[in-house]
Structure 1
Amino acid sequence: MLDFTWKVFKETGNIDTYLLFKELEKENGDLPEQTEELANSDLPIS
């Protein structure tokens, strides 16, 4: 679910999708390495 939410955010740049991603990430207690990997991905430029 996190991958899907991140991909939607990456494609749309929608802040609500990003906030959903962060909430899911917090609930799942994901490892920092996964978050860091996503942080280094290309973000869409609007």
Structure 2
Amino acid sequence: MLEFTWKLFSQTGNIDTYLLFKELERENQDTAEKKEQEIAEIDYPVF
């Protein structure tokens, strides 16, 4: 989805498309960080 949104923005220059791209990018980053945290908790459980 990120690739498509970026391609659409680069072809149109539409600022709303760019803002959507940045929002999706931020959500992707948050999801990756959350997954890393969950894996760390599984490896080293807190008691």
TM-score by length of 2: 0.62
Q: Which has the higher contact order (CA 8 A, sep 6+)?
A: 1
Q: Which segments of structure 1 move beyond 4 Å, counting only runs of 4 or more?
A: none
Matched residue count = 30
TM-score by length of 1: 0.63
Greater Rg over alpha carbons, structure: 2
Q: Unpaired segments of 5 or more residues in structure 2?
A: 31-47
Q: Unpaired segments of 5 or more residues in structure 1?
A: 31-46
Q: Percent identity?
A: 80
